[in-house]
Amino acid sequence: MAKILIRAMVLPMTGLGDFYPEGEIVLDGENILSVGERGSAPAGFVPDRILDYPNDVFLPGLINSHTHAAMTLLRSYADDLPLMPWLETKIWPFENKMSAQDIYWGTALGLCEMIRSGTTAMLDMYIAMEQVAEAVLAAGTRAVLARGMIGNAPNGQQAFRENIELLKNFHQLGDKRITVMFGPHAPYTCSGEFLQQVKAEADHYGVGINIHVAETRDEVAIIQKYQGLTPVQWLDSLGLFGGHIAAAHCVYLTPEDMEILARKNVCVTHNPESNMKLNSGTAPVPALLAQGVTVGLGTDGASSNNNLDMFGEMRTASLLQKLQVGCTALPAYQVLEMATVGGAKVLGLDKVGQLLPGYKADLISVNLDQPHFYPRFSIPGHLVYSAHAGDVRTVIVNGKIIMEERNLLTLDEQKICSEVETRAKRIAAELS
Amino acid sequence: MAKILIRAMVLPMTGLGDFYPEGEIVLDGENILSVGERGSAPAGFVPDRILDYPNDVFLPGLINSHTHAAMTLLRSYADDLPLMPWLETKIWPFENKMSAQDIYWGTALGLCEMIRSGTTAMLDMYIAMEQVAEAVLAAGTRAVLARGMIGNAPNGQQAFRENIELLKNFHQLGDKRITVMFGPHAPYTCSGEFLQQVKAEADHYGVGINIHVAETRDEVAIIQKYQGLTPVQWLDSLGLFGGHIAAAHCVYLTPEDMEILARKNVCVTHNPESNMKLNSGTAPVPALLAQGVTVGLGTDGASSNNNLDMFGEMRTASLLQKLQVGCTALPAYQVLEMATVGGAKVLGLDKVGQLLPGYKADLISVNLDQPHFYPRFSIPGHLVYSAHAGDVRTVIVNGKIIMEERNLLTLDEQKICSEVETRAKRIAAELS
């Protein structure tokens, strides 16, 4: 692995105000060796490569804490529809037609887009996850993978076995870039017994659980009707919490729910654009953060977003809370923390999400020498409120440069775009 | 002027479903000569230039219907603050320090950013508007300019005289790329008498009026307290409506207000990101459109956004209404109409906002050969939900190519960025 010396602005995400306007980062193989002012590299360090970008800011790679990458196959297949007709007449029939190979190519497309927009790690829940794992291995990114399991579906136990197989075959693969979790879909699609089975296996293997929680009003009503509890209370009563839990959405929470999430160290992923597009609601993010709950940020799948761009997601997250709560809600730096430090915690990753010696070399650069980044009053402000996906110049994961000068080095984009176009149109034609 | 033949996908914005997957556009000087399928160019037409972009879609240039371009000087100078301290301790003191030259450079920076993100026309309200006009003439874009007048301020009458001078000196200049309107700031900053003076002069010169209306709860409360009416009702009672009116924001409207706006043909500009960032509220856009009111889309100034990117604004506009109203609110094509056809109407521009023979050659291309635009199920959906500012490849205004392959051809970006950096930091230093 290469020894890389970076000279640029550095936003290490180690605390508000930490910033090196003329900074230096040293990467040694998979890890960060040093971060600091110009001249702070260890004496005698001889780099193989120097990246000299005085007008770029380097920051930790963004972490997409909740997505279904293969759903790029469904991008704009069905927009602007009511939720249930959308699911029943469009999304589910389309998904039923997807082959494992379709999922490989759809995931690869999502990874192309994520790398181009500065995302270095994702938490992905879907089906045919061995295909997702292969795409991640090829892309060179970091990922936590969970086999989505609809416990109440006829294939619930089959999915459960596939999740265990995924764990056995892919956990810690690719220089430990891949981690596996269990993926019970949601409180309203899994029985209490199924969730407890999953929890026992997660504890047995010492891995986490990824689950959708309290995403919609309907979910809350269903759980209330059948269990007499909120989704969070019900999951807590089942004993699901305690180990590592990554709970996506958490739009509808009572004060008691938030207290449970905080006490049980449940990590939450906020998905503002998907929650807006599907009319789900607004998660109480400032209240969760005030209680000390870890909150990451995710795009959800491309069928309800429709991009996988974490810069847009950061802006939307902040603007949405400012609208609902007030002008001071979710300041820029706090949103950046959600997309980096917070994301790493949601994914259960150690030494990821900040630029510090000994941490994994997962970092990106944004080219600030563009009109929408002047004047330079606040770099965090610019990254959250002004930046867009196309501003990312460099992407490095686990010490390896996977995008340089916007050239993607690990995946064949043309082939991937062409495969997805053909495969998605084939499925749509079969359904029309 | 050049004769240009374009071969590309064409979305002419002439009606839902109108789309040429293999289209052809012919530009003859300032105007569009023909739009259609490949081979539809008039027989014997000999182009000076051929733009052959089979993977780009050409559409009408986006129209930013409400902005204060020079406020790029304040970008991220003060984020995440409550409204009144933000204005009183940050924005107003900074603006008081701005020179006319500062406003020239700030506007030029805004124009660089707008061109780069596919905006070909703007409605701009600010001060030192002759500087804004000079920047627009240099940039090669189209603009409607209004001198912002705080009628109740000591310089109210002076500002009024400046607006008349602006009209005399710049209206219809630059091959008619510049139009001038009157810019009384808002119902709560102008007396009824002042507004009636403005209306008389607007009628005298046969030009429109640009005004902020019903932006905040406080404004509504103030007008209700002193006039016993809503802002819209009060302006109507003063006789302000009737000619061309471009009303920005219109967040707080009663059913009667909406009926008045529809009956009096008042055009409205929606500014979702600014309204969210400043906790102003959500304008009832679907209800306005249902009543037949013309609605355009704007970014507002960079101090409350913080970019001038109409692609982001389109996405936010749709997502916000889906959150507040329902999944089917503001479908992609309707949002594109707001940013093109609607914008042209707000700006009072004839033969702008659509690609049709005889229309002005104001058009842009978006490079769709990128991962986030596959599969190609819906081009309008991709433009609204997936696109970002960096995807614009070509910008043509009044028949002249002003950005080609992302190279800005009319303005010296480096010089402008550098001037703004120096000038903004100088003002901030004077205030610290």
Q: Which residue of B has its CA nearest to A335?
A: B80
Q: Which residue of B has its CA nearest to A281?
A: B323
pLDDT at residue A83 in the model: 83
Write out the H or E segment, with its range, that includes residue A202: helix A192-205
Is A139 in CB contact (< 8 Å) with chain B?
Answer: no
Q: Which residue of B has its CA nearest to A379?
A: B76
Six-digit token string for A34:
């040093």
pLDDT at residue B312 in the model: 97
**pLDDT tens-digit map of B136-173:** 999 999 999 999 999 999 999 999 999 999 999 999 99
d(CA B120, CA B346): 14
d(CA B150, CA B361): 36
Q: Where along chain B do its domains lie?
A: 3-60+359-408, 62-346
**Does this chain's domain B3-60+359-408 share its CATH topology with B62-346?**
no
Residue with more model confidence, A180 or B1 = A180
Cβ pair A36, A11 in contact under 8 A: no
Q: What residues of B are in contact with residue A428 (Cβ under 8 Å)? A: 377
Is B55 in CB contact (< 8 Å) with chain A?
Answer: no
Cβ pair A366, A393 in contact under 8 A: yes
**What single letter denotes the amino acid at residue B239?**
G
Where is average pLDDT lowest: A322-326, B63-67, B80-84, B181-185? B80-84
Burial (CB < 10 A; 0-12, 13-18, 19+), residue A222, is: middle
Per-residue HEC secondary structure of A107-162 comes to HHHHHHHHHHCCEEEEEEEECCHHHHHHHHHHHCCEEEEEEEECCCCCCHHHHHHH
**pLDDT tens-digit map of B194-229:** 999 999 999 999 999 999 999 999 999 999 999 999
> A369 to chain B nearest CA, in Å?
8
Is A371 in CB contact (< 8 Å) with chain B?
Answer: yes
Q: Is the pTM of this model over 0.95?
A: yes
Which residues have a Cβ under 8 Å from the Cβ of A391 and sit 6 or more positions away? A311, A366, A367, A370, A373, B390
Q: What residues of A are in contact with residue B273 (Cβ under 8 Å)? A: 315, 319
d(CA B341, CA B349): 10
- A377 with B277: Cβ contact below 8 A: no
- B385 with A332: Cβ contact below 8 A: no
State CA B245 to chain mean position distance. Answer: 14
- B307 with A116: Cβ contact below 8 A: no
Residue pairs between chains A and B whose CB atoms are closer than 8 Å:
218
d(CA B283, CA A25): 46
**pLDDT tens-digit map of B242-265:** 999 999 999 999 999 999 999 999
d(CA B41, CA B308): 35
Q: Which of B377, B405, B413 to mutate to test the interface with A (most CBs of A within 10 A)?
A: B377
Six-digit token string for B352:
């702008």
Q: Which of A278, A323, A330, A412 to mutate to test the interface with B (most CBs of B within 10 A)?
A: A323
Q: What residues of A are in contact with residue B112 (Cβ under 8 Å)? A: 371
Which conformational region is residue B19 in: left (phi greater than 0), alpha (psi within -120 to 50 degrees), or beta?
beta
Per the document, the length of chain B is 432
For chain A, positions 298-357, list CB contacts with chain B under 8 A.
Answer: 302, 305-309, 312, 315-316, 318-320, 322-323, 325-328, 331-332
Q: Closest partner residue to B76 among A318, A385, A421, by Cβ? A: A385
List the one residue out of A64, A173, A179, A170 whose CA is nearest residue A113: A64
Give CA torsion, residues B82, B85, B87, B90, to 10 deg: -110
Q: What residues of A are in contact with residue B369 (Cβ under 8 Å)? A: 417
* A41 phi/psi in degrees, rounded to 5: -60, 145
What confidence category does residue B83 fall into, taking pLDDT thresholds of 50, 70 and 90? confident
SS3 B17: coil
Six-digit token string for B404:
């080609």
Six-digit token string for A279:
């009319």
Cβ pair B283, B52 in contact under 8 A: no
Is A218 in CB contact (< 8 Å) with chain B?
Answer: no
Q: What residues of A are in contact with residue B389 (Cβ under 8 Å)? A: 372, 388, 390
> A98 to chain B nearest CA, in Å?
14
Q: What residues of A are in contact with residue B388 (Cβ under 8 Å)? A: 307, 309, 312, 388-390
Is A376 in CB contact (< 8 Å) with chain B?
Answer: yes
Give CA torsion, residues B50, B53, B54, B57, to 10 deg: -120
Cβ pair A317, B364 in contact under 8 A: no
Q: Where are the beta strands (DSSP E) in B292-391?
A: 295-297, 363-367
Q: What residues of B are in contact with residue A382 (Cβ under 8 Å)? A: 75-76, 306
SS3 A48: coil
Q: Is the pLDDT of residue B183 over 80?
A: yes
Architecture category of domain B3-60+359-408 in CATH:
Roll (2.30)
The neighbour count for residue A37, using CB atoms within 10 Å, is 11
List the one residue out of A143, A74, A61 whose CA is nearest residue A311: A61
d(CA A300, CA A248): 9
Q: Is the pLDDT of residue B356 over 90?
A: yes
Q: Closest partner residue to A374 among B117, B377, B417, by Cβ? A: B417
Q: Closest partner residue to A80 among B109, B331, B389, by Cβ? A: B331
Q: Closest partner residue to A76 among B318, B381, B424, by Cβ? A: B381
- A76 with B382: Cβ contact below 8 A: yes
**What single letter denotes the amino acid at residue A202?**
A
pLDDT at residue B82 in the model: 86
State CA B262 to chain mean position distance. Answer: 21
pLDDT at residue B169 in the model: 98
- A79 with B374: Cβ contact below 8 A: no
pLDDT at residue B84 in the model: 86
Q: What is the CATH number of domain A62-346?
A: 3.20.20.140
d(CA A249, CA A281): 10
> A388 to chain B nearest CA, in Å?
6
pLDDT at residue A82 in the model: 86
State CA A2 to chain mean position distance. Answer: 27
**pLDDT tens-digit map of A301-345:** 999 999 999 999 999 999 999 999 999 999 999 999 999 999 999
Q: Closest partner residue to B76 among A323, A371, A377, by Cβ? A: A377
For chain B, positions 406-425, list CB contacts with chain A under 8 A.
Answer: 413, 416-417, 420-421, 423-425
pLDDT at residue B61 in the model: 98
User: Can the peptide bond before residue A306 be classed as cis, meaning omega within 30 degrees of 0?
Assistant: yes
List the one residue out of A163, A166, A173, A117 whose CA is nearest residue A140: A173
d(CA B373, CA A313): 17
Q: Pinpoint the alpha helices (H) of A46-99.
A: 83-86, 92-96
> B299 to chain A nearest CA, in Å?
12
For chain B, positions 174-193, list CB contacts with chain A under 8 A.
Answer: none
Averaged over successive runs of 10 residues, the pLDDT of chain A (432 residues) comes to: 94 98 98 97 95 98 98 96 90 96 98 98 98 98 98 97 98 97 97 98 98 97 98 98 97 98 98 97 98 98 96 98 97 98 98 98 98 98 98 98 98 98 98 92
List the one residue out of B253, B245, B336, B258 whose CA is nearest residue B297: B336
- A327 with B424: Cβ contact below 8 A: no
**What single letter denotes the amino acid at residue A69?**
A
Q: Is the pLDDT of residue B297 over 80?
A: yes
List the one residue out of A143, A134, A77 whose CA is nearest residue A416: A134
Count of helices and strands (H, E) across chain A: 17, 16
Is B278 in CB contact (< 8 Å) with chain A?
Answer: yes
Q: Which residue of B has its CA nearest to A318?
A: B277
Six-digit token string for A366:
């944004």
Q: Is the pLDDT of residue B133 over 80?
A: yes
* B280 phi/psi in degrees, rounded to 5: -75, -45
- B381 with A79: Cβ contact below 8 A: yes
List the Cα angle B15/B256/B258 in 5-degree steps: 25
SS3 B60: strand
Q: Closest partner residue to B420 among A112, A374, A388, by Cβ? A: A374
Q: Are strands B49-60 and B31-37 parallel, antiparallel or unpaired?
A: unpaired
- Topology given in CATH for the domain delimited by A3-61+351-405: Urease, subunit C; domain 1 (2.30.40)
- Strands of the sheet with B209-213, listed across from one edge: B62-67, B119-126, B142-149, B178-184, B209-213, B245-249, B267-270, B295-297
DSSP A386: I
Q: Closest partner residue to B376 among A275, A371, A421, by Cβ? A: A421
ipTM: 0.97
Per the document, the length of chain A is 432
pLDDT at residue B195 in the model: 98
Write out the H or E segment, with its range, that includes residue B352: none
Q: Which of A324, A384, A388, A414 to mutate to test the interface with B (most CBs of B within 10 A)?
A: A388
Q: Which residue of B has its CA nearest to A382?
A: B76
d(CA A118, CA A363): 8
